Structure 1
Amino acid sequence: MPKISVCMAVYNGEKYILEQIESILGQLSVDDELIVSDDGSTDLTLEKIRTCGDARIRIIANELDKGYSGNFENAIRHATGEVIFLSDQDDVWLADRVQKMLAALERCDMVVCNAQFTDHVLTPLDTTLFSLRGGGQGFWKNLLKSRYLGACMAFKRSILRKALPFPGNRKLCPHDLWLTLVAELYYRVELIAEPLILYRRHGANVSSGGSASTNSFLKKMQFRAYCLLKVLGRA
């Protein structure tokens, strides 16, 4: 089995962090790792993580730009596994997520699972990621409208040869859109229609995944032009 690195970005996530970590560690082997990159939390997030007492957890400080995209890149740069999973701080992984995504990675370089949206106590809502965004594959389709979430991704380490470093303007090209475009243009991507995570929406989420964009048409075009130039530059 390949070594797995779960890369989690945290910031003031004390309320849900232990539930998420528990759902992850039960699916990892003794040789895998959970890298927690902290963006300067001022609550009890880190103290709660340390109570787990699990040697597979490695806490590091974010050394890159503040914000979730820089925080995720920081975690990824410290990963040592052959397979990398991304994780938010407030979701819950369903019990067979790792097994099913590893099986898919035998055929591709990145796999993206569906996600069941829930409220703050994990009551399922009427929305999944793919029902909201369409779940369509393809570079141009995802450049036009991003259909994947970082929290639903797992990928082989080989993708990092083109993905790192992430583009400098993280507001114009957030981490999950960047990884989507790199994988769709240069590698093989597979989707799993089954929801494999509970994607918790609680009003204080660090990322806005699942929310409708409020950007103007001009801003959206700026996004796309910037991302297109950056990803073509990795050829």
Structure 2
Amino acid sequence: MKKQEIFHTIQSLFGYKEGIILNRPSVQILLSTYNGAVYLEEQIESLLNQKDVDIQILIRDDGSTDSTVLKLNALKQQYPHQIILFPESNKGVIESFFNLIQRSSETFDYYAFCDQDDVWMPNKLVQAVSLLIEKEEGRPLMYCSATQMVSHRLEPLKVWPADIPKPLSFYNALIENVCVGCTMVINKEALQLVKKRIPTSLKNVIMHDWWIYLVVSSFGEVVFDPKPSILYRQHQNNVLGGSTDGWISKWRKRLKRFAQGKNRYILSKQAQEFIQLYGQDMSAQMYKDMNQFLDSHQKGVFSRIKYIWQSPFYRQSRMDNWIYKLVFILGKL
């Protein structure tokens, strides 16, 4: 969508007078930090410089031992109405983000998730809001986008993910996350749905963004924007997210993680947690398909082989789809 089209879409919903958008869309940004002092000021500045939206940054520091909290306190003094800070003990990234979700205020129009070392493009939020407005029907909605991967000096590397060929649906979200958390923007209905049923055991949740993708795709709609909205910084401390490795290196790492047991059973555990919390509200067909997926996973190898060839669940790439089928047959999903 062009910049002028974005502007007209938003002004039609929020009002317009003499060149000024009235009642601009409000966005609460949920940011979890941990030892991220190096890039903090640059990142916060990119959040504060978002165009045509009103923002508040809700920050939970996850027990940083560097100067992160010192810098955050200085920024909070400088922007007291836009920055709320909770310096707390280390709980890990998943629990930290779910804590932010619980603390979020339901007075905002939209909610965005943010990592601590990226730089947001000035139109990131208004671009997301404009696409969500087109879908607005009082149901859970989520926006996510491609990222412009960059070096620690913000030198362009590549766009990732470059292509999402298949629908973003419950049948994809159960076994694959293609929505990069730091690009995600959700509406109030999506926030309330997630907030109302926080998982009882966060150990069964692979990552907060994957969980949100699964929730929204099951009860609403997910919109993917192929146009990058952030500079996604890659450096030695950036252990999550996309990678610039070649395909050989990627598969070597996947096989190593599987051999060490790090990827075993995580998908089935998350699926079991999800159906316990949301099963009663799922459509009859989705509930049936999910139950069949979980039941077949517990059966013998011949039953798993029979099931996997008619499974409605899919990953985006053909190679990943084959890996999914193989791991399912082995009973290690």
**Same structural fold, with TM-score higher than 0.5 when normalized by the shorter chain:** yes
Question: Which structure has greater strand proportion?
Answer: 1
Q: Which amino acid aligns with 2:147?
A: A
In structure 2, the CA distance between the partners of 1:216 and 1:167, relative to structure 1 (3 Å rule), is: farther
Which one has the largest radius of gyration? 2
**1:141: which partner in 2?**
172
Asked if 1:89 corresponds to 2:116, the answer is yes
Q: Which amino acid aligns with 2:202?
A: N
Q: Encode CA deviations 1:144-173: one digit per residue, 9 max, x unaligned.
A: 222111101000122233323145234642
**2:304: which partner in 1?**
none
CA–CA separation in structure 2 for the residues paired with 1:122 and 1:131: 19
Displacement of 1:34 in angstroms is: 0.3
Displacement of 1:232 in angstroms is: 2.4
Using CA pairs under 8 Å that are at least 6 residues apart, name the structure with larger relative contact order, 1 or 2: 1
CA–CA separation in structure 2 for the residues paired with 1:171 and 1:16: 31
Question: Which structure has greater helix proportion?
Answer: 2
Query: What's the secondary structure of 2:63's corresponding residue?
Result: coil
Query: What's the secondary structure of 1:60's corresponding residue?
Result: strand
**1:57: which partner in 2?**
83
Aligned residues, how many?
232
CA–CA separation in structure 2 for the residues paired with 1:228 and 1:67: 21
Structure 2: 5+ residue runs without aligned partners? 1-23, 244-249, 282-333
Displacement of 1:135 in angstroms is: 7.7
Q: Encode CA deviations 1:168-218: one digit per residue, 9 max, x unaligned.
A: 23464211110110011111111111000010011112x411245453287
| TM-score (norm. length: structure 1) | 0.88
| TM-score (norm. length: structure 2) | 0.64
Displacement of 1:113 in angstroms is: 1.2
Asked if 1:157 corresponds to 2:188, the answer is yes
Is contact 1:62–1:74 with CA below 8 Å preserved after alignment? no
Is contact 1:9–1:37 with CA below 8 Å preserved after alignment? yes
**Which of 201, 207, 212 pairs up with 1:168?**
201
Asked if 1:180 corresponds to 2:203, the answer is no
Percent identical among aligned pairs is 27
**2:126: which partner in 1?**
99
CA–CA separation in structure 1 for the residues paired with 2:162 and 2:193: 30
Q: Which amino acid aligns with 2:240?
A: S
| Structure 1 ranges of 4+ moved more than 4 A | 28-31, 132-136, 211-214, 217-221
Asked if 1:197 corresponds to 2:222, the answer is no
Query: What's the secondary structure of 2:257's corresponding residue?
Result: coil
CA–CA separation in structure 2 for the residues paired with 1:36 and 1:170: 22
